[in-house]
Structure 1
Amino acid sequence: MKKYLFCIAIFSLIFGCNSDKKDYAADESVSKEVVIADAADTSAAPKIIKTADMRFRVKDVQDTKEKLSSTIKAQGGTVAEFSINSSIQESDKVKYSTDSLKEITSYRKEGLVIAKIPSEKLDDFINTIARMAVFVDNQAMKMDDQSIAYLANKLKAQNRAEALNTINQTAKRKGNNVETSLYIKDDYVDKKIENMDIDDRVKFSTITLNFYQDNTVKTLIVGNDNLSDYKPGFFKRLGLNMLEGWKFFKEIILALSTLWMFIVLGLAVFFGIRYYLRSKKV
Structure 2
Amino acid sequence: MMKKYLIYGILSLTVLSCNSEKKSGAYETADSQKQSSTSSSDTPMAEKIVKTADMRFRVKDVQSTKEKLGSILRAEGGTIAEFNTHSQIRQNEKVKYSADSLLELISYRVEGLVVAKIPAEKLDDFTNQIAKMAVFIDDQSLKQDDQSINYLSNQLKNRNKLEAVTQLNNSVSGKKTGVAERSLALKDEYVDNKANNLLTDRNVRYSTITLNFYQDNTVKKMIVVNDELADYRPDFFKRFWLSFENGWSLFKEFILILANLWAILLVIAAGYFIFRHYRRKKLMA
TM-score range, shorter chain: 0.7 to 0.9
* Percent of pairs with identical residues: 52
Matches within 5 A, 1:1-282: 28=30, 31-41=33-43, 43-172=44-173, 175=176, 177-238=179-240, 241=243
Q: CA deviation at 1:247?
A: 7.4
Deviation at 1:231, TM superposition (A): 2.5
Counterpart CA distance in 1 for 2:132 and 2:208 is: 20
How far 1:189 moved relative to its partner? 1.2
TM-score, with length taken from structure 2? 0.75
Q: Distance in 1 between matches of 2:255 and 2:183?
A: 109
TM superposition shift of 1:18? 8.8
The count of aligned residue pairs is 258
Change in CA separation of 1:242 and 1:172 when aligned onto 2, cut-off 3 Å: closer
1:85 aligned counterpart, secondary structure: strand
5+ long unaligned stretches in structure 1: 258-282
Farther off after superposition, 75-84 or 244-253: 244-253
1:104 aligned partner, one-letter code: L
DSSP-derived class of the 2:161 partner? helix
1:58–1:13: structure 2 CA closer, same or farther, 3 Å change rule? same
Q: Secondary structure at the match of 1:34?
A: helix
Q: Which moved more, 1:233-242 or 1:219-228?
A: 233-242
| Structure 1 Cα separation of the partners of residues 13 and 129 of structure 2 | 82
RMSD: 3.9
C-alpha spacing 1:182/1:250, structure 2 compared with 1 (3 Å): closer
Offset of 1:211 from its aligned partner?
Answer: 0.7
- Cα 1:241–1:6 change in 2 (3 A) is closer
> Equivalents in 2 of 1:90, 1:191: separation in Å?
53
Structure 2 vs 1, CA of residues 256 and 160 (structure 1 numbering), >3 Å: closer, same or farther? closer
- How many angstroms apart in 1 are the aligned matches of 2:182 and 2:67? 53
Give TM-score scaled by structure 1 length. 0.76
- C-alpha contact (below 8 Å) 2:45/2:149 kept by paired residues: no
